């Protein structure tokens, strides 16, 4: 019986280890980009999917821009025109981040003011629409600290989703809030 002899050169242990390390470097390189771009994609798509509403313990963190990003008619709009995920926030403790606008107040405290996501928006497409503002009304016995319109603030309080109108029938507010705490965003 004849025996076949294999004359092929087999890689040594160090050569096989070198090949595996080259593959691991490639996998690490691909994994790094997957983590970076995956986390970026998650950040973007989580806001789209959730509508900017995130439960954080006993407070709901809400993206102020997303909350007002829907069509609303100032004359005939009703609370049913507000998307359900934002109507569900009525009476809940929420955290909003935005800029304070106090048209009728001077000094360091304000008896009422508005919270908007961008005070510069007026330069591009006019003033914020009524559904893009949250009207802050502190209790009568206290005032909220006033910050200039260029300081980003965090506001925690109880949100009310209710369409209010003036005597002519124009909508004056969709969102109002009784603030518990107003602090500069860090």
Q: Which of 42-46, 88-92, 103-107, 163-167 has the lowest mean pLDDT?
A: 103-107
Predicted TM-score (pTM) of the model is: 0.71
- The confidence score (pLDDT) of residue 148 equals 79
Per-residue DSSP letters for 47-85?
HHHHTTEEEETTEEEE-HHHHT-S---TTT--GGGS-HH
Pairing of strands 53-56, 59-62: antiparallel
Total number of domains in the chain:
2
| Whole-angstrom distance, CA of residue 76 vs CA of residue 115 | 23
Bridge partners of residue 182, in order along the sequence = 155
Q: Are residues 98 and 153 in the same domain?
A: yes
Same domain, 40 and 57: no
75 and 121 within one domain: yes
Domain of residue 46 covers 11-50
Q: Measure the CA dihedral 136/137/143/149, to 10°.
A: 20
Q: pLDDT band at 121, cuts 50/70/90?
A: low
């Amino acid at each position: 019986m004849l025996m076949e002899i294999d004359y092929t050169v087999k890689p040594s242990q160090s050569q096989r280890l070198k090949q595996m390390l080259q593959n691991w470097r490639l996998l690490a390189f691909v994994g790094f980009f997957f983590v970076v771009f995956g986390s970026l994609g998650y950040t973007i798509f989580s806001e789209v999917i959730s509508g900017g509403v995130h439960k954080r313990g006993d407070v709901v963190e809400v993206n102020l821009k997303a909350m007002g990003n829907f069509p609303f008619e100032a004359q005939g709009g009703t609370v049913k025109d507000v998307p359900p995920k934002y109507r569900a926030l009525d009476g809940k403790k929420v955290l909003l981040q935005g800029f304070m606008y106090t048209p009728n107040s001077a000094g360091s405290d304000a008896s009422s003011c508005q919270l908007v996501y961008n005070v510069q928006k007026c330069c591009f497409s006019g003033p914020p629409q009524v559904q893009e503002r949250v009207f802050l009304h502190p209790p009568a016995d206290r005032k909220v600290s006033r910050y200039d319109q260029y300081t980003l603030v965090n506001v925690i309080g109880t949100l009310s989703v209710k369409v209010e109108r003036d005597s002519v029938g124009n909508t004056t507010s969709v969102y109002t809030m009784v603030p518990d705490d107003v602090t500069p965003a860090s």
